[in-house]
Amino acid sequence: MLFYKGFLAWILHLRGLEKEVRFLITATQSRLLGEVLKDMGYINEGQLLQALRIKEQYPQRMTGRILVDLGYATELQVFQAIEAQWQDWMKGNF
Mean pLDDT across the chain: 80
2 close to 84: Cβ distance less than 8 angstroms: no
How many CA atoms does the CB half-sphere of 50 hold within 13 Å?
14
49: left (phi over 0), alpha (psi -120 to 50) or beta: alpha
Tell me: pLDDT of 33 over 50: yes
- C-alpha separations of 65 from 8, 22, 52, 90 in Å: 16, 13, 11, 24
65-89 pLDDT, tens digit each: 999 999 999 999 999 998 888 887 7
- This prediction has a pTM of 0.66
The whole-number average pLDDT for the span 30-49 is: 92
- pLDDT for res 91: 75
Give phi and psi for 80, each to the nearest 5: -65, -35
1-27 pLDDT, tens digit each: 344 456 666 666 666 655 555 555 554
